[in-house]
Each structure stands twice: as C-alpha cells, then as structure tokens.
C-alpha cells in the first residue's frame, strides 16, 4: 500500500510540474533552458541533502567511466524530455515513453538475462497497443519524435544508472551529482544563450510550484523501490504517469479521445504486468 501511495504522489507531482512548464513555455513566459534549471534545482537539493545526511555523498572513482557516459546521454535525454513536454500532447508523450520498458527488456536480454514466453507476450501487447493507438486517431503525432527519441535515450541512461547504483554508488549520491551537473548546465545556457538569470524564477509563482513539485516527486519515485519489487514500481509509475497525463491533457490542454486512450492504457497495463 505504501508503494502505491508513493507512486501516486510522485507521478501526480511530476505531471503538475510538466503541465505548468508546458503552459508557461507555450505562452512565452518561460524558456526551455529556464525550465531545465527549474526541473533540476530541487531534485539536486533533495538528493544532495539526503546524501550528506547519510554521509554518502561520494562517488566511487571506479564508476567515473560509466557515470560520465551516463551524464553525456542524460543531458541529451533531459533536454529531449523538456522539448517533448513543450512540443507534444501530454497523453502522446506519456504513451510513447512506455517504449522504454520493452527496450530495457531487450537490453537485459543482450546482457544475458533470460526472457520467457510470458514476458515476450507482454512486450508484444505493449508494442501493438502503442502502434494501434498511434496509427489510429487516438494520439496527435505532433512532437512525437521527441518522445520516441527520449524513450530510446532513456533505455541507455536507465541501464547505466542501474549499473552504477548496483556496483558502485548510492542512489542519493548518483542522483545528487547527476542533477547538480544538469542544474549547472541549464544555468549556464540560460545565462549565456538567453542572457537571463533563472534564479529569480525560484521565488515566483507558478514557477516555484513547478520546481518544487518536480523536486518532491523525484525522491518519492526513487525510494518507492524500497517498498515493493522493481517490476511493480515500474509498472505503476508508467500506468499512473499515463493516467495523469490523459486527465491533464483533456482538462487543461483540450486533448481529445480520452475514452480510447484509457481503453488502450488498460491493454498496456496488462502487457506491463505480463512483461515483468
């Protein structure tokens, strides 16, 4: 029950942050670099605070090759994620990011993990559901390339993240340094490219709500894995993320076809359960 609660809260807060960012950038009140700074600020603060509190703010030097490889791709994926939020419908991006899951299972197969017939059936249900929804009139295709590229890139960054926290670093240290580097990256770009200081946005409504919602969401979602198996957490995160995106897309951004989207979401949840 506690795992489900953390997933519901974490995914809902993530959707609030994404929806505010999308609305503000669409109305030219926020740029993509300012959005990146806001999205990275509180996660960096929270994870660094947790690491310092536990005395674990330390990266094993042996992890540097894979950590910096992760950060190279993470910077690209994080930027793609911002563009995806801005350019595509909320439900479109949420559905297409589910592609990461079958891609991760393929990576596990490549690494030597065995995938049985049930998992293959689950992957096929997910893929065919996404193809059916995307090829029909259920999803708008505008901006979907960003979501597809994000899903491909996320399979790489998640695999590197899993490797690092399994063999070298604590979750708080790995994530703390990662978000700190992203924070610096978007801060510098905002100053150099746009000649704007993003720090005042942290004290202005609704940007402070956007940033804080993302910051609180990340620890909720990261530490949910303590309370239940990874398969349940990942399935729950994707399912609730899509659900909140469908509801916010319909309510705030006038997206259509809510009924068919929820129907396909049901099929995808079944596929995710089988896949794990």
204: phi > 0 → left, psi -120 to 50 → alpha, else beta; which?
beta
User: Cα–Cα distance between 65 and 83 in angstroms, integer?
Assistant: 28
User: Cα–Cα distance between 111 and 159 in angstroms, integer?
Assistant: 11
What pLDDT was estimated at residue 177?
94
What pLDDT was estimated at residue 188?
96
Number of domains into which the chain is organized: 1
What pLDDT was estimated at residue 186?
97
What pLDDT was estimated at residue 133?
78
User: Cα–Cα distance between 91 and 75 in angstroms, integer?
Assistant: 23
pLDDT beyond 90 at 181: yes
User: Cα–Cα distance between 106 and 85 in angstroms, integer?
Assistant: 26
Which domain does 97 fall in, by range? Answer: 2-275
Instruction: Answer yes or no: are the C-beta atoms of 10 and 223 closer than 8 Å.
Output: no
For 43-89, what is each residue's pLDDT tens digit? 999 989 988 887 777 889 999 999 999 999 999 999 999 999 998 88
- How many Cα atoms are found within 13 Å in the side-chain-facing hemisphere of 96? 27
Instruction: Answer yes or no: are the C-beta atoms of 57 and 176 closer than 8 Å.
Output: yes
| CB-neighbour burial class of residue 230 (10 A; exposed 0-12, middle 13-18, buried 19+) | exposed
Which two structure tokens, joined as six digits, stand for 159? 């695999």
């Amino acid at each position: 029950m506690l795992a489900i609660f953390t997933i519901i809260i974490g995914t809902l807060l993530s959707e609030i942050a994404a929806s505010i960012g999308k609305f503000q950038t669409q109305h030219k009140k926020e740029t993509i670099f300012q959005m990146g700074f806001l999205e990275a600020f509180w996660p960096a603060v929270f994870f660094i605070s947790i690491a310092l509190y536990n005395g674990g703010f330390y990266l094993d030097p042996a992890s540097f090759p894979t950590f910096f490889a992760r950060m190279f791709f993470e910077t690209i994926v994080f930027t793609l994620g911002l563009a995806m939020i801005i350019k595509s419908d909320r439900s479109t991006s949420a559905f297409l990011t589910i592609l990461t899951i079958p891609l991760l299972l393929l990576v596990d197969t490549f690494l030597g993990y065995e995938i049985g017939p049930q998992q293959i059936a689950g992957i096929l249900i997910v893929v065919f559901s996404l193809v059916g929804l995307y090829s029909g009139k259920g999803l708008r295709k505008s901006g979907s390339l960003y979501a597809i590229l994000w899903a491909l890139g996320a399979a790489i960054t998640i695999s590197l993240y899993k490797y690092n926290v399994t063999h070298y670093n604590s979750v708080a240290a790995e994530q703390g340094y990662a978000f700190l580097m992203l924070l610096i990256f978007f801060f510098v770009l905002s100053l150099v490219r746009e000649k704007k200081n993003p720090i005042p946005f942290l004290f202005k409504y609704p940007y402070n709500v956007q940033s804080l919602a993302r910051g609180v969401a990340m620890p909720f979602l990261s530490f949910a894995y303590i309370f239940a198996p990874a398969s349940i957490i990942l399935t729950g995160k994707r399912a609730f993320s899509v659900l909140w995106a469908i509801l916010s897309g319909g309510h705030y951004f006038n997206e259509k076809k809510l009924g068919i989207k929820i129907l396909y979401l049901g099929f995808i949840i079944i596929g995710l359960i089988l896949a794990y």
